[in-house]
Amino acid sequence: MSAKRLSSRRNRQAGFLLDENISSEILAIRLREIPGWTIELHADHLPPAATDDAVVSLCGERGWGLITFDEMRYTPETRRAIVRGNVRVFKVITHEETHYMHIVSVLVIAQRSMVEMMHKNRLACCAHVYTNGTVSITSRFADIPPDLTPSQQRTYLRYGKLPGQ
């Protein structure tokens, strides 16, 4: 791999909104110290108790990923907003008593994978961020073009395009 290509992968940036249920100034301050992403707070852009589909729609308009504790992929309105905006939703899997510094460390470990996922996946998806920092896509949302082979379908679902597109 060329040094230029490796350098461009290391310098990738992505914007993320902290959903209301995870949003705090203290958490944002800690995450903003880590280069490579922009962290936005729910309260800076939306009223309290905004609906999930309003939150997702904002992320779609701004090109942000959404970091949340909610499982948003199951309600029809929110699912439609996720697909319409090609939003990548990252659900942090924790226990109720998890300290915010543990959440920070999980997100710092997962940051590179999350940013890469924002750049590689052009289509909407939901992913889980586990306490060990791994990120795993749990749902992909796509209208697969007809007449694709199974291999092409997997590629399309993974990257939102086929090679050469």
In the chain, domain spans: 12-159
pLDDT in tens, 72-90: 877 888 888 998 899 999 9
Low-confidence ranges of the chain (pLDDT < 50): 1-8
- CATH number (3.40.50, 2.70.98, 3.30.310, 3.10.620) of 12-159 reads 3.40.50
Contact 83, 124 (CB under 8 A): yes
Evaluated on CA atoms 95, 37, 40, 128, the torsion sign reads negative
| Whole-prediction pTM | 0.81
